[in-house]
C-alpha cells in the first residue's frame, strides 16, 4: 500500500476543510442546540461534488475513490460530527446502494439527483424491535400484480423526515428464513410513505434521525432493487463500505477533539507553566496521537481494498470498531484536559464527546463488529 497522499486527496481535503470552516463552524452550536438539520448546507456540499464523491462522472458524480471520500468526511467531522454523519449516510447508504445494486435505469434516474445534492437520500433497515436482528424484521412488502405494498416502520433513520428518496429493505419471505428480504426505492411523495417521530438525541443533534412509516404504500415493481430475496445480501455489501465512512467520521471527531486539547494544553497555565509540560497531560496527548495514527492506517487499508474491488468485510469492521472506540476515548480525554471548561458548551470538546458515542452504535455496534471480525479470522 502506498502511504503517500496524492494530490487529488490533498485537494479534496482542502476543499472540505475550507467549506467546513466557512459554512459550518459559525453555526455548529446553534444547530446542535436547536436540532436544526441544515438542508441548504447539504445541498451546497452537492455543488462541490461531496454528495456524490464516489459516484462515476457518467451519473453526475465526482468519480473519486474511497481515500478521497474518507478524507472529506474526516475534514467535515473535525468541525461538526453531525454534518459528517449526514454526508456519510447519504453517500454510503442510499446513494451507494443504488450505485452498487441498482439497475441501469435506476442509476440514471436517481444518482444524478443524489450526487448533485438536489435530492437527499435515506436508507432504512433498522426497526423498533430488530436492530442487529434484521432477519426478523416486521416491515413487509407483498406483491400485488405489478406492484408491491409496503407496511411497517423503520427507525433511527438518518434523514427520515427530509430525505427525498429512501432505499428500504422489507421482508418478502417468512421470518428468519434465508433470502427473506428485498430492497426497494421509495420516493418521498409516494402515498402511504410518511415520516414519524424525530429523535431527541444525546449527540449528532444536527443530523436528522427519525422514523419512516409505510401504511399500504404502493410502489411499482420497477422500484425493486435486484432480485426478490436479495435485500439482506445487498445490505451487508452496502454496510461493508459504509463502515469505512463511519470509521472516517470517528477519526474526524477524534482529530477535532485532539487538536482542541493539544492547543488548549499549550495555552492553559498552572503553576506558572503550560499544562502540556506535566506528564499527566503529555502522556494523554501521546496516547491520543498514537491512536489517531493507528486509526488512520486501518482506514487507509480498508479504503485501498475498496478501491481495488477486493473484499473489505474484515478491514472495514476493524477500522470502524477501532476508530469509533478511540473517538470516545480521545473525546473523553480531551474533556479531562480542558477540566471544568471542557464540561461547558463554550468550548468544543463537550460536543465531540457527545457526538463520538454514536459512532460505536450506528451501522453495526462495536459488539457486532467483533462478531464480524471473529467470523473472518476463524474461517
Active-site annotation, residues: 363
Q: Tell me which DSSP letter residue 127 carries.
A: B
Cell numbers for 74, please give them. Answer: 474526516
Q: Are 51 and 117 in contact (CB under 8 A)?
A: yes
Q: Are 196 and 206 in contact (CB under 8 A)?
A: no
Which residues face 218 on adjacent strands? 149
Q: Give which of 153, 17, 38 is closest to 85, Cα–Cα.
A: 38
- Whole-angstrom Cα distance, residue 67 to residue 53? 10
- Whole-angstrom Cα distance, residue 19 to residue 144? 47
- Whole-angstrom Cα distance, residue 167 to residue 145? 21
Q: Are 80 and 206 in contact (CB under 8 A)?
A: yes
Q: Are 284 and 336 in contact (CB under 8 A)?
A: yes
Burial class (CB in 10 A: 0-12, 13-18, 19+), 116: middle
- In the chain, the N- to C-terminal Cα span, in Å, equals 24
| β-pair type (165-171, 121-124) | parallel
Q: Give which of 281, 377, 289 is closest to 337, Cα–Cα.
A: 281
Amino acid at each position: 500500500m502506498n502511504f503517500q497522499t496524492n494530490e487529488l486527496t490533498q485537494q479534496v481535503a482542502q476543499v472540505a476543510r475550507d467549506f467546513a470552516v466557512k459554512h459550518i463552524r459559525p453555526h455548529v452550536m446553534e444547530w446542535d442546540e436547536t436540532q436544526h438539520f441544515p438542508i441548504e448546507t447539504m445541498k451546497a456540499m452537492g455543488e462541490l461534488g461531496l454528495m456524490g464523491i464516489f459516484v462515476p462522472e457518467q451519473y453526475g458524480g465526482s468519480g473519486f475513490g474511497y481515500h478521497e471520500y474518507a478524507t472529506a468526511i474526516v475534514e467535515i467531522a473535525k468541525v461538526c460530527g453531525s454534518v459528517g454523519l449526514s454526508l456519510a449516510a447519504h453517500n454510503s447508504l442510499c446513494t451507494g446502494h443504488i450505485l452498487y445494486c441498482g439497475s441501469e435505469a435506476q442509476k440514471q434516474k436517481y444518482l444524478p439527483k443524489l450526487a448533485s445534492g438536489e435530492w437527499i437520500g435515506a436508507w432504512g433497515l433498522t426497526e423498533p424491535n430488530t436492530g442487529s436482528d434484521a432477519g426478523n424484521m416486521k416491515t413487509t412488502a407483498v406483491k400485488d400484480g405489478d406492484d408491491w405494498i409496503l407496511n411497517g416502520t423503520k427507525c433511527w433513520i438518518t434523514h427520515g423526515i427530509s430525505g427525498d428518496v429512501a432505499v428500504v429493505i422489507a421482508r418478502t419471505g417468512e421470518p428468519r428464513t434465508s433470502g427473506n428480504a428485498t430492497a426497494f426505492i421509495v420516493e418521498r411523495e409516494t402515498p402511504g410513505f410518511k415520516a414519524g417521530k424525530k429523535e431527541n438525541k444525546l449527540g449528532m443533534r444536527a443530523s436528522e434521525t427519525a422514523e419512516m412509516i409505510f401504511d399500504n404504500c404502493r410502489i411499482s415493481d420497477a422500484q425493486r432493487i435486484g432480485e426478490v430475496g436479495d435485500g439482506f445480501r445487498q445490505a451487508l455489501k452496502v454496510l461493508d463500505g459504509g463502515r469505512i465512512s463511519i470509521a472516517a467520521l470517528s477519526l474526524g471527531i477524534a482529530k477535532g477533539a485532539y487538536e482542541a486539547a493539544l492547543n488548549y494544553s499549550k495555552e492553559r497555565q498552572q503553576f506558572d507553566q503550560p499544562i502540556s509540560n506535566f506528564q499527566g497531560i503529555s502522556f494523554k496527548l501521546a496516547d491520543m496521537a498514537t491512536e489517531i495514527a493507528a486509526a488512520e492506517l486501518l482506514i487507509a487499508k480498508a479504503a485501498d481494498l475498496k478501491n481495488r474491488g477486493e473484499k473489505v468485510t474484515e478491514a472495514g469492521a476493524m477500522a470502524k470498531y477501532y476508530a469509533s472506540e478511540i473517538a470516545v476515548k480521545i473525546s473523553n480525554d480531551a474533556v479531562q484536559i480542558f477540566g471544568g471548561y471542557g464540561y461547558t458548551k463554550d468550548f468544543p470538546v463537550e460536543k465531540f464527546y457527545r457526538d463520538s458515542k454514536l459512532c460505536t452504535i450506528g451501522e453495526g455496534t462495536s459488539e457486532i463488529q467483533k462478531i464480524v471480525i471473529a467470523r473472518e479470522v476463524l474461517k
